[in-house]
Structure 1
Amino acid sequence: MSSLAQDDSQQRAELRIAFLKHLPKRLQQLARRGHRYCTEGWDINGLSVLHEDVQRLAGVAGRYGELEVSQTLHSLEGLLERSLGVEQLPNAESSEQMLGLFEALAPERAVAPPRAKQESAAHSGQVARAEASPSHYWRRWAPDNRSALRLVGQTAPAAPAAPLTLALEGEPPEEFSAAKPTPGPAVRPVAAVPAPAKAPTTTTPRRPAAAVKQAARIYHLTDAGELSLELDQKLEAMGYELELLENAAELKEILTALAPDLVVVDAEFLGDLESVGAVLRVTRERTGTKLPLLAISAEDNVPARLTARRAGADALLIAPKSAADVLQKLQELLESGREETYRVLIVEDDRSQGLFAESILRNAGMEARVIGNAFEVLDAMDQFHPDLVLMDLYMPDCDGTELTALIRERDEFLHTPIVFLSGESDIDKHYQALDAGGDDFLSKPIRPKHLISAVSNRVRRARAMLRRVSTRDPKDALTGLFTRSYTLERLNELLGSEDARSRPGGVLFFDLDGVAALRDKLGLSHVEGLLGEAGTMISEALDGVEFACRYGDGCFVAVCPERPDGSMESVATEVRNLLRSHSFSVAGRPVRLRVSVGVAPFRFGFADAGSLLNAAERCAREARASETGVLRFDPPKRGESEAQDSLTALVRQAIDRDGFELLYQPIVAVQGSEESQFQTLLRLRDDQGRLHTAAEIIPTAERADLMADVDRWVMNQALRMIELRRQAGNPVRLFVNQAATTLASAGHSDWIAHQLRVRNIPGTELTLELTLEDIDTYLDAIVEFCEALIPSGVHFCLSRFETGNRGDVVLEKLPVDFVKLSARYLSTLQTQGTRDALRGIVDRAHRRGLQVIAQRVEDAQSAATLWMSGVDYIQGNLVQQAGRELNFDFQSAVL
């Protein structure tokens, strides 16, 4: 597959990953809003906005394979649509149905995290370290807590004059009074599992929804400082099961009873860290889990780092500036604790040795695969994607040193650890193996524990480096551009925030025209240097919180999260003018860029980063024809939106129920020919009998990511018609249009070739029509597609052709047999300039052995002018209108 096709495939994969990562949060927010409306009452604006959000999210979730979620969302969409259709708020029965769907959509639905109000003046002076307590902090006063009732840093009085009252937002104040009989600290046995928190009053408080979520259990040895309390609030709001501990003895005691998923130790307890680490090691061995330890230090010095290392801490944070920094590291450790099984490829020609190593690694919880033939290793790596290769040094036909060199030639395996396992004692041989690309050398015989440790350490470090490259350092230091995956992640995060519809900001999509032509003229390395310089200019023109990335071949995306809506177009214009006025020097030649910009604000409720960027890209393409070169996205009006939604549903239904129609229009030789050939034209009839044209169907299918399905339906019907005509003894050639995205997709050429074989159809009876303006981005992949079908005899036609840099470059690369002229030439056919240009196009095409087709010919005068220009075929209503039957008399058709 070409690099452009691979890049496009990678874009789609990154879009999917970024969307799915934030989907649970989006569903929680949607469920929270829905629950509030269903239980507290509806308003018409909220109903409309909720319907739009559900509708958008349903389509994207289905596209990315979340079928169950998509089905639930579609059910909600139907219920909401029913109320909007009759312009009435949902009744009690509908609300009850929707409530069940919202609960099914996000069982862990979280209400707004409760925040503790400030205590009364009588107690405010007693709190020494922080003003606000995190949610669930009332567990310190619960009867199942080991500690006696006390304020932070205080000893509880035997009988306080008044009960301590905490008012949670949205809930009535609850009293926690030490005057009532409560058990002392000895009630909970040392080795007992902590009991669930209970309110020590006769009224049972409503349980915060965050506590319902079965998430990771975290023990926090807290100093109750401001940062710690903020961290605890965030953790509880995110649904983590949090146990707050005030001294190291408490932590060590509870570790012997119940293992958590992670332990956090604040800076105040650095002196106790080693003793905590010792207990933690025992717990890790007892439970067989990694059980990460995160330590915090107030100062960066060698004793602190040594203490953390001796304690076995997985991470040490030095004076974190905010709770967000701690939270990020905490989530990294939790994710690493739940990471995929280590995959090890064992290359060993001695079967018994290979099975020995495999059994050791499998018993250690790793996935291992043994390859005995060196020639099969590269294929195995493509299929298995190992985290590490355990390589024998001596093998027949290809030794380990040579094989390592071959592996390192592949970019995707450049950083895969390769460890040699051999009985070779010659140190020079060791150096040769390491010089070929090996990372380590282990000597046989090796103890199982040593093998497991060596492999685990290497894989763990390799994965940590990969995570660091992809998340911690997502920025290119040279250009200032961020990675595409990081940008998509941030966009989905911004679109998933609760204030997405009211927040400022958006994206700018910079489209640099003619990059493919420049690459062919100047070379790949020179053009990449030019694009790097352009990217740097875009990055430097942005404000501090704004950032940009290279999104595709000649496309850049700038993310402006805080910029007011009104200034988005002005900054787009400024940066565009900066790029257009700059004279780039490439290989000693001055080059100026043609740039158009699409602007898409966040506030229009895009379902995901892909939808947002598609809208911005469409605006950038349309801006090419505008005077300013900048176009801002405006959503369709409600009537237009409903019409689009209706057409999308109609297209889906037509795919499922074979509901499209194909019309046929003859393509007639100007000089006369008996060969029958027709253009296929896609149509779709709605319930009112209106016939929708391809100009309406295709944009709708592209927006809904249904184009591949539509193209396959058209191709199936066209091949079926060719097959029927052959069986009747009336062979025909059909011109069939296919979208560039479909042609560039993997496997489409194989599918067409297979269909031709099983139907016994000569490829010469099929001509695939490729539209010039669509294929530029996918040119290399489409060239590969065409070359794969040439052996089958398939012909190709370049449609809507216009002479110029882009048209000439595409024509030079594609193995086409026909050129179909742009309708622009027909509209100005009577001008001398157009006629001269037309003759030039026809002459050049004929010299290349190509035939020229003029389409949309409506009158005899135009046909005569085209005949004089040397055009080979004409198509249009002058010849015959499109119809369902292929009944044109080609033998009698002569101009």
Structure 2
Amino acid sequence: MPEKEEKERELKAAFVQHLPERIASIKGDWSRLNSSEWDHSRLKSLYQKVQGLTGASGQYGLISLSESSFSLEVYLNTLIGIDNPLSTDQEETGSTLINAMKHEVDLIRSKSGIDQPEERLIYLLHSNREIAPGLTDVLEEHDCTVLSFNHPDDVEGEVQRRLPNVLILDAEFLPHIGLLNRELAIQQERHKTQVDIVCLSQSRDLEQRLLALRSGVDAYYLTPINTQELVDNIIELASPKHESYRILVVEDDQSQADFAASILKKSGMKTLAITDPMKVIDALDKFRPDLILMDLYMPNASGTELTTIIREHPDFIMTPIVFLSGEQDTDKQLQALSVGGDDFLSKPIRPRHLISTISNRVERARILEKKRHYPSARDPVTGLYNRRHFYEKLDALTTDTEQRNTLGGVLYITLHEGSEGNKPVEFDRFMATLGNHIMEVLEEQDIASRIDETSIAIVVLRPHQKNIIALGEKISARIQELKNGNKHTPHIGIAFIHKEGINASELMANASAACAEIQHSTQMMKIYETGDGLTAPSKQATLPTLLKQALQENGFQLLFRALGHPHKAEPEVYELKLRLRLPDGKQLGNAEIISLANEEGLATQVSQWLVERALITLEEKRVEGKQISLLVELASSTIFQNTITEWLKKQLRARQMVGFGLIFEYRIADLSANLKVSKQHFSELRDMGIKIALSRYGASNAAIKVLQYLHADYVHIAGPVLEAADKEVSEIIEQIHQSNAKIILPARSEPASITPLWRDSADLVPIISGTTRH
């Protein structure tokens, strides 16, 4: 897979990982909006957050979520400008749309293999300060029941009634939980269960950490806390251990075998005891144990011989083997361990010691097995984190900027001059040195990663913007030291999380653009500003600048608008629309972007960008076994410049696809400039399996002739034509159907205003998720 697509895949995985937190943030904002005095600025902030989710979902090809999010976006837009608090019906409508988004997120995460959390009871003992922003909301999104308390005595009383799965407490309560701990111990013994304790702290004081350890704390978190990471750990602690440990006991003495098996059974483990060592391999295949408890000296085959044979079996290389024997000779014990044993226990052994040793060994083996199935989180050359781990942390950071009391940002470091011609060994040595220098100046919460061969990125949290700049200056000074005597010239670009709705992809693109801006200068570091990464003339006009920047940095948002019909079983069709967010929070729509692209000579680049996204989406849906069609409006100028056809053929060959599922839409008025060339172009597209639609169809005599000449598959009716009288509408519909074309109706602010004649004759009409479904 090309590195560009691999990066996008990793960014998408990180985005999907943190979707529950994004929905929780939106749900929390909606609740706060309704529970307090009407706040226009809060509504605007929520609207921008939803806009960002809509666009990012579309960009990653999450069609249903983009559609649901867009429905909420449209609804919120209708509320902007009102001065009165919402009615009950309005509140319920917003909540219903948010729940629809949550449902789509659950489906997405289920398909991606991310386990859905089970309902769990969490007690939260906290002060007025918020150490982990949005913690309660995110836990509730994971189907946890969260009860909040402000005093240890209140928790103690509740513990007497029922035990939680996890107790989360603010570190300031540590000196005052003696009685609570005693009550927890009593209830845990009574109910034969365990309550895990998680402590959240703002202090790095060692005495406090020791106090937490002595108070039975299982997990200790320091600020700034990554809420999603904390929630993931809490969910893991709260999850029940459904499967009992499976222990295979191999002992030639029947009484000894039964004794060991009975002890383990009483502790909840499943056991299989065999006294014939020659039957071990059959038992392994049938029982599939988590651990083998084996005697050292047995007839026919010793424990060391069996261990050697077991380790040759690929399925049991990682299965722990514990020897239980009366052998007291240390050398012989070590010899037994050297052939693949994991531990040696001497007879006689206390039951508690046996249970503890086996439990620890099985748990450790399970942890190692998990790690074995995931790539290392570290880059082997630099020692920094790998790209996927970095993207997950960055996406978590960008999920909810509103409730965090620290500023986030990205430092992007790239080697430019002279780096390509260096020998790989020499270059790797330099990158390793650079990685070491970077790690020396980072704080505990910072995440640094090697993004590609020549680039390193760092995600940071600091109290103020000046602290992030100071870190950049410190790294720049270290780089200056490294430059002495070698030809590598790194540059640093910095981008801050300064607005709602910005995602990890946009933030990385901004930092990279700032870095690119200074690659041919003596300047070592630059803070991102609009226009970075473009040539000087491009910076003079704001909209052209933003358009070029969006092309360079994948800065467009994508919308998926569903098309269907309540009474016709058409396959799933979606309009794929571009949107570009402006610095003032406003948006450029699809039609405006195409017009601007034509003016700036960028129609080919914009059209190719959009088609490439459509192909990626169709490819993903094909893997899922789904068949959809995408209606994509392209600039007609690409026909006359002949810049799409050959490029598209190469794209389809590279992806081993045909164009089935693509519907290219062109403005009918633009095609009249050269109908002959247009017809030839459409013929080439049809050969690739692509269908044709004519947009802004005015239904004039000239339009009918163009339709009949070009043999388009669809016509997208122009808005004013919907207002025609029924007699004229009947004639238009008949002419279109006689040309073997299907009818697509445009979106209307009031769908009910569309006459029944149009509605019944249309093949595809816009559908708003959550209100009308086909």
TM-score by length of 2: 0.50
**Whose RCO is larger (CA < 8 A, sep 6+)?**
2
Q: Whose radius of gyration is greater, 1 or 2? A: 1
